[in-house]
């Protein structure tokens, strides 16, 4: 069975500081990994995804995540956060068995303060 663990429920940081949001997964088959972001009062939006190839994937707004198979991790990082990055971040793993099924972690709330 697949599962996703996000150990940090909340991460407070100051503006322009670096941040890492942790995600670990368990799966007995090949995995496809995603990070979704949920801004206040909005739906989930895809931030970035790992399907295959380079283990380092980047988003258009400066976030990056690295797939580490040996550590079964897919941590999300940003070298310098902005106030506007305040949101809930969800890690998800996908299993394809004829159709895609997304399994989400419990989420990490990133709180950026001035």
Partner 1 sequence: EAGVAQSPRYKIIEKRQSVAFWCNPISGHATLYWYQQILGQGPKLLIQFQNNGVVDDSQLPKDRFSAERLKGVDSTLKIQPAKLEDSAVYLCASSLESSVNTEAFFGQGTRLTVV
What DSSP line would sit under the chain, residue for residue? --EEE---SEEEEETT--EEE--EEE-SS--EEEEEEE-TTS-EEEEEEE-SS-SEEE-TTS-EEEEETTTTEEEEEESS--GGG-EEEEEEEEEESSSEEEEE---EEEEEE-
Site for partner 1 in 52-71 (CB under 8 A): none
Q: From the list 25, 63, 74, 90, which residue makes contact with partner 1 (rule: CB under 8 A)?
A: 90
Site size toward partner 1 (CB under 8 A) is 27
Residues within the interface to partner 1 (CB under 8 A): 4, 6, 9, 32, 36, 41-46, 49, 51, 90, 92, 94, 96, 98-107
């Amino acid at each position: 069975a697949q599962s996703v663990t996000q150990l940090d429920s909340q991460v407070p940081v100051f503006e322009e500081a670096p941040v890492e949001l942790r995600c670990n997964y368990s799966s007995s088959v090949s995995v496809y990994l995603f990070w979704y972001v949920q801004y206040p009062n909005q739906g989930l939006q895809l931030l970035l995804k790992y399907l295959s190839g380079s283990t380092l994937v980047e988003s258009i707004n400066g976030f990056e995540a690295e797939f580490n198979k040996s550590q079964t991790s897919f941590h999300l990082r940003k070298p310098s956060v902005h106030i506007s990055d305040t949101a809930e971040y969800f890690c998800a793993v996908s299993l394809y068995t004829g159709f895609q099924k997304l399994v989400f972690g419990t989420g990490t709330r990133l709180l950026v303060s001035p």
